[in-house]
């Protein structure tokens, strides 16, 4: 197998695609903070972004004829696969990865939100315990 060099225009396209995918994760992971806050809007953000890949993967699984047949030709046959089977395997991998990322994000951000809520509740209790109780006679009510 030989690697085909990419034209410079395609290389810049891949670089822009990579930069755009990083921007999707920057808003969620907030690299400027030490600890990623567990805000639940982040789950919807990740799920929404990953759905496009899942739909494309599902299309690859369902379609009965190869989409990229003109580009790949008969390369799949060299590996013992038909082009349609190769496409369906690729679609299944896309679905599996997107599903794993979505479930992982769901679990991580729900657990982080619960942890943040517990911390906030503990801090509120500690603040309440340190604040002296005020009696009505001390403020002129009796």
Residues 35, 24: Cα–Cα separation, whole Å? 18
DSSP, res 141: -
Q: What is the reported pLDDT for 69?
A: 74
Q: pLDDT tens digits for 65-101?
A: 888 777 777 788 888 888 889 899 999 999 999 999 9
Delimit the domains of the chain by residue range. Answer: 36-125
Q: What is the reported pLDDT for 96?
A: 94
Residues (pLDDT < 50) of the chain are none
Q: Which residue has the tokens 């005020």?
A: 134
N- to C-terminal Cα distance for the chain?
A: 92
| Among 119, 98, 100, CA closest to 108 | 100
- The predicted model scores a pTM of 0.69
Q: What is the reported pLDDT for 62?
A: 95
Q: What is the reported pLDDT for 3?
A: 61
Q: What is the reported pLDDT for 142?
A: 54
Q: What is the reported pLDDT for 139?
A: 58
């Amino acid at each position: 197998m030989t690697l085909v060099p990419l034209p410079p225009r395609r290389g810049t396209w891949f670089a822009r695609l990579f930069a755009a995918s990083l921007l999707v994760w920057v808003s969620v992971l907030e690299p400027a903070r030490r600890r990623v806050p567990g805000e639940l809007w982040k789950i919807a953000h990740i799920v929404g972004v990953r759905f496009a890949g899942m739909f494309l993967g599902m299309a690859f699984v369902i379609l009965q004829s190869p989409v990229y047949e003109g580009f790949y030709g008969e390369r799949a046959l060299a590996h013992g696969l038909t082009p349609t089977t190769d496409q369906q395997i690729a679609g299944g991998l896309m679905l599996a990865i997107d599903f794993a990322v979505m479930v992982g994000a769901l679990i991580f951000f729900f657990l982080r939100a619960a942890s943040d809520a517990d911390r906030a509740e503990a801090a509120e209790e500690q603040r309440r315990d340190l604040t002296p109780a005020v009696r009505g006679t001390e403020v002129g009510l009796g």
